[in-house]
């Protein structure tokens, strides 16, 4: 109720009802996306050490499990892979929490929409199979939010200033995860053995001069 005067103006930009509703929904959703993004960025910055520790632990144990597979060490793989799954769970849920912070304004926007438009049927110019000729506000409001979120993310990443902000929130030491394709590559021990074989001449194993 307190926010009503600051929100309802967006729906009165146009005297045409449909245009006013769609423009107002877009402005309100953009405000939700921007406010949620600022909150998420601040949370990632404040918790970057915790997120970084979870990320580095996940990458470390994953890479160790890949190396264990390369060396055909099943016992080591099972032990390290279990730790990798636990580390992945910690990192995944920490990032899920950060994502939840980016959408917290949406429930408040939906509560306001319910107060203003709840229970009011909106007549469509044509009938949609499975939907009918009238819908309620979520039919438009939720897709507009998804569109606003995607468009905002793509456009903001074109800005060098915004990319610097994302770097400001970056966490972890930057170590890359090994791919399971790396299992097809020879291990360092195999490389050393092959180098030793190439350095010998004939069945007697004499070194080449």
Summarize pLDDT for 196-207 with one digit per residue, the tens.
544 555 555 444
Predicted TM-score of the model (pTM): 0.74
What does the alpha-carbon distance between residue 137 and residue 21 come to, in Å, rounded to a whole number? 9
Longest dimension (CA), the chain: 96
- Read off the pLDDT of residues 97-117 as tens digits, 9 standing for 90 and up: 888 999 999 999 999 999 999
Q: For residue 58, give Cα distances in angstroms to 38, 53, 80, 154.
A: 27, 9, 10, 28
User: Residue 50 pLDDT more than 70?
Assistant: yes
Whether the pLDDT of residue 66 is over 90: the answer is: no
pLDDT (average), residues 21-26 = 95
Q: What is the pLDDT of residue 85?
A: 85
Dihedral in degrees, nearest 10, Cα atoms 92, 96, 99, 104 = -170
Between the CA of residue 86 and those of 54, 90, 91, 92, 184, what are the distances in Å?
A: 10, 6, 9, 10, 26
Strand partners, 154: none
Over 50: is that where the pLDDT of 194 sits? no
């Amino acid at each position: 109720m307190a926010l009503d005067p600051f929100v309802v103006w967006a729906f009165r930009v146009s005297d045409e009802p449909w245009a006013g509703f769609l423009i107002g929904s877009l402005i309100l959703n953009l405000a939700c996306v921007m406010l949620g993004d600022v909150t998420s960025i601040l949370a990632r910055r404040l918790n970057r050490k915790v997120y970084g520790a979870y990320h580095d632990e996940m990458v470390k144990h994953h890479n160790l499990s890949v190396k264990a597979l390369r060396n055909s060490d099943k016992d080591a793989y099972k032990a390290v892979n279990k730790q990798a799954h636990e580390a992945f769970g910690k990192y995944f849920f920490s990032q899920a929490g950060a994502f939840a912070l980016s959408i917290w304004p949406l429930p408040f926007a939906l509560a306001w929409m319910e107060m203003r438009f709840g229970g009011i049927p909106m007549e469509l110019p044509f009938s949609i199979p499975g939907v009918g000729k009238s819908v309620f506000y979520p039919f438009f409001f939720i897709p507009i939010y998804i569109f606003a979120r995607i468009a905002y993310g793509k456009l903001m990443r074109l800005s060098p200033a915004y990319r610097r902000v994302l770097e400001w929130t970056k966490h972890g030491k930057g170590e890359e995860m090994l791919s399971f394709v790396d299992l097809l590559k020879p291990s360092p021990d195999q490389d050393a053995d092959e180098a030793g074989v190439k350095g010998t001449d004939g069945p007697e194993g004499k070194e080449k001069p």
